[in-house]
A and B are shown apart, each in its own frame.
Chain A
Amino acid sequence: MSDQLLFAMEVTLNGLMAGVMYALVALGFVLIFKASGIFNFAQGVMALFAALTLVGFQTGQVPFAHLINAVFGTRIHHFGWSVPTLAAIVATMAVMVLMALLVERLVLKHFVNQAPIILFMATIGLAYFLEGLGDVMWGADIKRLDVGLPQGISETIDGTTFGWFGYGFFIDRLDIVAALVAAALVVSLTLFSQYTRQGRALRAVADDHQAALSVGISLRAIWVLVWSIAGFVALVAGMMWGTKLGVQFSLSLIALKALPVLMLGGFTSIPGAIVGGLIVGVGEKLFEFAVGPMIGGATENWFAYMLALVFLLFRPQGLFGERIIERV
């Protein structure tokens, strides 16, 4: 096999892996959009906030340390202990559930029956608030997140492919873990929504609010549930991205990459989020590989958006989105 072809294969594989990472963020968007018709602009920041909180708990950081020091003139920063990873994850999840409760109580409750655009604006506000809160609570420095996920080149794949083709593929082990985690996440979310009482209630709310009320479903309880699940997905995404790039505030920008993913996959489809993520991942890597050198490179920054634009022209509802039918 020619070197070019092998290299293209490697690029494709890496693209798939990168796509999984995008899909992880997109999943959170889809969940909330499906259940409440809200495009949650804060999903990316939620991932950042979850990662910050996780690192904070893990390393025994004192929340609001800078604020406390400024007010009381103390110099505390750390409790001086470190928390086991699993306990820190559980604690972070508790924080995310608390956030879901507060979001419902302080924001959503007051916007019942408002137009989607108003709720969308509210989530933009929420995004800025969370970003600020994360800053005040845990500080703005870039932190290293280590939850024990493997990183670096996968020797096995490198060795095997070298044996086959005489050319070793470089695949990051973290990306493989991310792919497995994403698969597990999708399977469990699907099982949850198809086979549990709460899942059925969730689908009911997503379909028709009024009908859901009439069969005795509390919308508010479902919203808290949905935002908690979205918080959980954000935590998973935050863990993956935080391990990969370090926990830094630019993480919230990965949410932007989720937009073209959603346009491709459709805003209402969980499989769509995954497939959309894969297409964007592979697309941008292959484009960079094939066309990039001719036009000066750095195409990864804009390729996904251009792809989404083209998609919007031909299939505005995305690959898996609900068909838009207008009866006249």
Chain B
Amino acid sequence: MTGQVQPAAAEAAGGDRRIGPVVMEMKNITLRFGGVTAIRDISFDIREGEIRAIIGPNGAGKSSMLNVISGFYRPQEGEVWFRGQRRPRLKPYQVARQGIARTFQNIALFEGMSVLDNIMTGRLTLMRSTILDQALWWGRAEREEVAHREKVEKIIDFLEIQHVRKTPVGRLPYGLKKRVELARALAAEPRILLLDEPMAGMNVEEKEDMCRFVLDVNDEFGTTIVLIEHDMGVVMDLSDRVVVMDYGRKIADGPPAEVRRDQAVIDAYLGVPHDG
């Protein structure tokens, strides 16, 4: 079951997009939970403006890798380089403030808040007015709120969720929640956008929509996107380069067409007996 990508979007993905220099590099990352090694000595890089996919069977360590990038997990070994500098040990919120936004596999939204408020939280790190400004609702606070609201409304338009702007997120269906989560991540105007299985659990139509949004985001804002996906078809259509993981190891890395022919990848997906 493949998310069919519109011709125009596919063109954009394959054609004349400007893919820049390396913006982030993972060097020899190893992550253990007690005796279990979730990630074993993996290295790869992410280029500015590209869509980088991480794929692999269940339990391959894809989400763990994303959690390392976003600072939720700390690897025991290895280094993360971001924009030419070695990143020190950071807390997740500090990583977010560096311009790395993310979504979650199981959707982590503020269920009690409206769609609009949820997306506004994405801009918290960009707000500057002090508590005093806000208490008195002086010029700066008001200007700031208005400016941020404008940006948020644009994102709402872009992702076509105008009709649920004021609805509490808890009441939305699954597919829309995924979209709101993407909107919140986008609101931070991230340099790198991490998407953890953005199409998981969606029906064909929703998948197509989401594919289109991911491509549009990349195309219009030039946002670097790292996405985890299960569905091989989706990945092949969307991404510029693919990292394939299996049992915590990297088994392939390259453009989709190349990776698809790789024997190790075929084995991992078809389930050839493993000796590991």
Take A214-B70, A215-B124 as given contacts and tell me if A207 and B113 are in contact as well, using a CB distance cutoff of 8 Å.
yes
- Is B111 part of the contact surface with A, judged by Cβ < 8 Å? yes
Binding site for B on A (CB under 8 A): 195-198, 200-201, 203-204, 206-208, 210-219, 322
Take A201-B121, A210-B108 as given contacts and tell me if A218 and B91 are in contact as well, using a CB distance cutoff of 8 Å.
yes
Partner of B109, one of A195, A200, A208, A219: A208
Q: Which residues of A contact B97 (CB under 8 A)?
A: 216
Pairwise interchain contact B125-A203, C-beta atoms closer than 8 A: no
- Is B81 part of the contact surface with A, judged by Cβ < 8 Å? no
Take A197-B134, A198-B131, A200-B117 as given contacts and tell me if A215 and B111 are in contact as well, using a CB distance cutoff of 8 Å.
no
Pairwise interchain contact B112-A207, C-beta atoms closer than 8 A: yes
A211 to B196, CA, bound (A): 13
A195 to B104, CA, bound (A): 27
Partner of B93, one of A198, A203, A216: A216
* Known contacts A197-B124, A211-B110; 8 further A-B pairs (Cβ under 8 A): A196-B134, A198-B134, A201-B121, A208-B111, A213-B93, A214-B70, A214-B101, A215-B125
Q: List 10 A-B contacts (CB under 8 A).
A: A196-B131, A197-B127, A200-B117, A200-B120, A204-B121, A207-B110, A207-B113, A214-B92, A214-B101, A216-B96
Pairwise interchain contact B110-A217, C-beta atoms closer than 8 A: no
- Is B4 part of the contact surface with A, judged by Cβ < 8 Å? no
Q: Which residues of B contact A206 (CB under 8 A)?
A: 112
User: How far apart are A269's CB and chain B's nearest CB, in angstroms?
Assistant: 11
Q: Which residues of B contact A214 (CB under 8 A)?
A: 70, 92, 96, 101-102, 104, 108, 185
Q: Mark B180-214, 1 if CB is under 8 A from A, else 0.
A: 00001100100000000000000000000000000
Pairwise interchain contact B124-A207, C-beta atoms closer than 8 A: no
Nearest residue, chain A, Cβ from B112: A207
A21 to B173, CA, bound (A): 43
Partner of B122, one of A196, A197, A215: A215
Q: Which residues of B contact A218 (CB under 8 A)?
A: 91, 93
Candidate in B92, B97, B188 with the most chain A CB atoms within 10 angstroms: B92
User: How far apart are A323's CB and chain B's nearest CB, in angstroms?
Assistant: 11
Q: Which residues of B contact A201 (CB under 8 A)?
A: 121, 124
A143 to B102, CA, bound (A): 55
- Is B73 part of the contact surface with A, judged by Cβ < 8 Å? no
Pairwise interchain contact A204-B129, C-beta atoms closer than 8 A: no
Pairwise interchain contact A203-B124, C-beta atoms closer than 8 A: no
- Is B82 part of the contact surface with A, judged by Cβ < 8 Å? no
Nearest residue, chain A, Cβ from B123: A215
Take A200-B121, A201-B124 as given contacts and tell me if A215 and B109 are in contact as well, using a CB distance cutoff of 8 Å.
no
Q: Which residues of A contact B94 (CB under 8 A)?
A: 216
User: How far apart are A17's CB and chain B's nearest CB, in angstroms?
Assistant: 29
Pairwise interchain contact A217-B72, C-beta atoms closer than 8 A: no
Take A195-B134, A215-B121, A215-B184 as given contacts and tell me if A207 and B93 are in contact as well, using a CB distance cutoff of 8 Å.
no
Pairwise interchain contact A219-B93, C-beta atoms closer than 8 A: yes
A215 to B193, CA, bound (A): 12
User: How far apart are B57's CB and chain A's nearest CB, in angstroms?
Assistant: 25
Pairwise interchain contact B134-A215, C-beta atoms closer than 8 A: no
Q: Which residues of B contact A210 (CB under 8 A)?
A: 72, 104, 108
User: How far apart are B145's CB and chain A's nearest CB, in angstroms?
Assistant: 8
Q: Which residues of A contact B110 (CB under 8 A)?
A: 203-204, 207-208, 211-212
Take A200-B121, A203-B113, A207-B111 as given contacts and tell me if A215 and B91 are in contact as well, using a CB distance cutoff of 8 Å.
no
Pairwise interchain contact A200-B124, C-beta atoms closer than 8 A: yes
Take A196-B134, A200-B120, A211-B104 as given contacts and tell me if A216 and B111 are in contact as well, using a CB distance cutoff of 8 Å.
no
Interface hits, B113-158 → A, CB 8 Å = 113, 117, 120-122, 124-125, 127, 129, 131, 134-135
